[in-house]
A and B are shown apart, each in its own frame.
Chain A
């Protein structure tokens, strides 16, 4: 217990405290100015929106992927199962460059989408695509083990009590998976909020339009504006912590009832 806390303090809390301390040294007026300039505000909004959207997309499709991987036998299942982890292993820059090549107006996916009037690369949609790519393992790997452990006899019990397949899914399976699903969603969101490498290539990085907050931090650092970078970082940190605490609360609410048997 003490050892764990000490370790956590060293690895996580120490750097974060240093960050907050550095920001605190700025004084409120300078902090407010650095953290709330229009360009910075636009980047928060973009980062939040794209991260939420990507997390939701992953929430739906990650769930479906986990479901298919657990419930259906198909040839090559092991390979597909291994592929799910790939976005974690691939350097994010590689992912960014590949996605950009594909979705750029000249790439084959970009060309097809452009014909439909949809801009992906160098537009907010491109950011979402990149975040979906890096976020999907979190949802799949959170839901999958819980789904695997869901005993078949619980669903059979529901069937013998007269429930149809939809009722079984909504009343039995989904409530059991909810805590794990929320965890996956939170992780995918947190990753999306902080993701940098894969986004910078596909986003185009136009100030006020497709410039994400983490990139803005890098930009400020390049300009030796350490205080400005710190201010943005602290705001991002606060948003992430608030959101994760909120999800944690939801999770506790839904798992208190279903405490492991």
Chain B
């Protein structure tokens, strides 16, 4: 089932949680609402679920207005960050709950057993059916919550920070599980997260939300490689920011100078470079770069993170492969020449407004 959100607004007292969001979620997609805490992403999810009413705007399910429909009549499955399991019921009864409270067309006891056992198989919890939630680990509890939400055959599955309260390894495992599960059952799903890595790995599409507004909608590749705003750029991974201006086809960003032939002159711009887009060498290579000092090298995992500092003491971050780092033979305190492969340049109007993307300079 497709979801259409039209110009939703929601205030809590003086705080504007959602400031006019419109969004289309096509049937069968797995969409991530990504943003920092307080950005309004959870409020939006709760409005879709019917747990919260919007002040303005409409929610359409499959083209039908569902804005005022009660939560229990929406046919949505909701998975909460803190599981929200029924403590006094077994795993089996938790999953069966939605079937037992049904008034019209309640399935027979044998049908309920069949359906619940099928779902417990799906989430790999069949041996724990007789346990109580207090006897399960966090990851197991969240899988019970998932099975419980799926038991009523929802047309939409909504997940609020579903992996937020799990430890790192369980979180990784469970988000791959969610991806596989979605590939299997293909129910329209929306999940909320503040973890960019999670969104990039799991979602078909990512909606980046900031201060109650949509910053960008796109596939993981689109939002990562072609961020529409500086916010998206800096929220999806670390970035180095250079401030400066454009003059005669060149971007002068502090000590950096890069060619920007397509850009017209602008007095205040910001250039964004991801750590992996910085070329590092020990000798003065191609022009346009800047000399820096290595402050600290952190060889964690397959990549080595370099903390650098330019001549004016501004910090820079770069990432190189382990092999390349070995070839560099560099120690803290030694000089490295740094040159960006590409710079995304945004006009710096004011810090309140989203900056407009001017183009890429090389």
Instruction: Please give the residue numbers on chain A whose beta carbons come within 8 Å of chain B beta carbons, in ascending order.
Output: 151, 153-154, 156-164, 167, 171-172, 175-176, 254, 257-261
Contact = CB atoms under 8 A, between A and B. Distances in A.
A172 B132 CA distance: 15
A156 B84 contact: yes
Nearest to A178: B88
A168 B74 CA distance: 17
Interface in B143-157: 145, 148-149, 151-152
Contacts of A261: 85, 87, 133-134
Given A154-B84, A156-B84, A157-B84, A167 B132 contact: no
A163 B72 CA distance: 6
Nearest to A260: B134
Contact of B152 (A154, A161, A176): A161
27 contacts: A151-B84, A153-B84, A154-B86, A156-B51, A157-B80, A157-B148, A158-B86, A158-B101, A159-B71, A160-B51, A160-B71, A160-B72, A160-B76, A160-B149, A161-B97, A161-B149, A162-B73, A164-B72, A164-B101, A171-B101, A175-B86, A176-B87, A176-B88, A257-B89, A261-B85, A261-B133, A261-B134
B49 interface: yes
Interface string B260-297: 00000000000000000000000000000000000000
B71 A156 contact: yes
**Interface residues of chain A: helix, strand, loop or mixed (majority):** helix
Ordered nearest first, which 3 A-B pairs have the shortest CB separation? A161-B98, A258-B88, A153-B84
Given A161-B97, A162-B98, A258-B132, 10 more contacts: A153-B82, A157-B80, A159-B71, A160-B50, A162-B152, A163-B97, A171-B97, A257-B89, A257-B90, A261-B133
Interface of B: 49-51, 70-74, 76-78, 80, 82, 84-90, 97-98, 101-102, 132-134, 145, 148-149, 151-152
Contact of A160 (B49, B86, B102, B132): B49
Contact of A259 (B49, B84, B134): B134
A259 B51 contact: no
A172 B76 CA distance: 19
Contacts of A258: 87-88, 132, 134
B149 to A, nearest CB: 8
Given A154-B84, A162-B102, A259 B78 contact: no
A257 B82 CA distance: 19
Contact of B72 (A159, A171, A172, A259): A159
A148 to B, nearest CB: 16
A259 B132 CA distance: 8
Contacts of A167: 101
A2 B226 CA distance: 68
Given A153-B82, A258-B87, A158 B132 contact: no
Contacts of A175: 86, 88
Contacts of B87: 176, 257-261
A254 B88 CA distance: 8
A164 B151 CA distance: 17
A172 B77 contact: no
Contacts of B77: 160-161
A157 B133 CA distance: 15
A163 B50 CA distance: 14
Nearest to A157: B84
B84 to A, nearest CB: 4
A161 to B, nearest CB: 4
Contacts of A162: 72-73, 98, 101-102, 152
Contact of B78 (A157, A164, A172, A176): A157
A159 B51 contact: yes
A161 B149 CA distance: 7
A48 B97 CA distance: 40
A113 to B, nearest CB: 42
Contacts of A160: 49-51, 71-72, 74, 76-78, 149
Nearest to B151: A161
B270 to A, nearest CB: 41
Q: Which residue, of A158, A159, A162, A172, has the highest number of chain B Cβ atoms within 10 A? A: A162
Contacts of B101: 158, 161-164, 167, 171
Nearest to A155: B84
Contacts of B76: 160
Contacts of B132: 257-259
Contacts of B145: 157
Q: Which residue, of A157, A176, A260, has the highest number of chain B Cβ atoms within 10 A? A: A157
Contacts of B86: 154, 157-158, 171-172, 175
A171 B89 CA distance: 10
B75 to A, nearest CB: 8
A204 B133 CA distance: 54
Contacts of B102: 162
B88 A153 contact: no
B350 to A, nearest CB: 39
A176 B145 CA distance: 18
A6 B134 CA distance: 33
Nearest to A159: B71
A248 B296 CA distance: 63
Contacts of B97: 158, 161, 163, 171
